[in-house]
Structure 1
Amino acid sequence: MNPTYHPIPLTDNAYDQQFELAVNGATALLQYQLHHQYLSLIHTEVPAALQGQGVGSALVEKVLLWAQERHLTIIPLCPFVAHYIHRHPAWYQLVAPGYRPAGAAQ
């Protein structure tokens, strides 16, 4: 994650079922559904003003850390999240087995 985004807090907007990361007056979001120990990550949106700056990746990493702290299992339905996890295979440990590539670590 770009160190610039480390101090920016992740907001869990449970009412709207989305995580939010506010950067320079704009807000990136990741929509989710929480079912018991499963966290389905559905859709990521990054405002045009923030695109190409690593904000989406920072948002995903912060959400994965949030899930890890709560011992949740991830279901990556959002293609952006799935691609991020594919690029960072250490996160496969959080992903539900049916959503990991063949041969991915448990």
Structure 2
Amino acid sequence: MADVDVTNNTERHRFEVNLEGHTAFAEYRLKPGQIVLPHTVVPPEFEGKGVASALARFAFGYARDNGLKVIPTCPFMAGWVKKHPAQHDIVDESCREPLGLP
């Protein structure tokens, strides 16, 4: 899939991609100095097309831009960050060992 436009729906506390009448999203919860990423949903029509990865890039970019440490409790987000060492520095200390990060 080409460029995916991700938006921050602050009212619903989630990052969203709207395509062809479907919405993929990554929920988030803000805590002081932290962002928790508990759940990601991608409609079957967009699975395997990079939409979830676009959501992850946006979420981690948002965290970095806002000086937040990430707590990726969503299995997809946890798996994604393991594959992206450039993002390891913003993973919250409480999650580093369970995720096997240095």
Shorter-chain TM-score: what band?
A: 0.7 to 0.9
Determine the structure 2 residue equivalent to 1:13. 9
**What's the % identity of the aligned pairs?**
33
Residue 103 of structure 1, CA deviation = 5.6
| SS of alignment partner, residue 20 of structure 1 | strand
TM-superposed CA distance for 1:25, in Å, is 3.1
How many residue pairs end up in the alignment?
100
Structure 1: gaps of 5 or more residues: none
Whether 1:29 and 2:25 are equivalent positions in the alignment is yes
Indicate conservation of the 8 Å contact 1:5/1:55, yes or no: no
Is 2:72 the counterpart of 1:76? yes
* C-alpha distance in 2 between matches for 1:63 and 1:77: 13
Runs of 4+ that moved beyond 6 A: none
3-state SS of paired residue (1:93):
helix
Alpha-carbon RMSD across the aligned residues, in angstroms, is 1.6
Q: Secondary structure at the match of 2:38?
A: strand
Look up the equivalent residue of 1:63 and give its one-letter code.
A
2-structure distance, mates of 1:5, 1:45: 18
- Scaled by the length of structure 2, the TM-score of the pair is 0.88
Q: Give the TM-score of the pair, scaled to structure 1.
A: 0.85
For 2:56, the equivalent position in structure 1 comes to 60
Offset at residue 11 of structure 1 (A): 1.7
Which of 76, 87, 93 is the equivalent residue of 1:97? Answer: 93
Deviation per CA, 1:25-80: give whole Å up to 9, x if none: 32110011001211000100000110011110111111111111111110011010
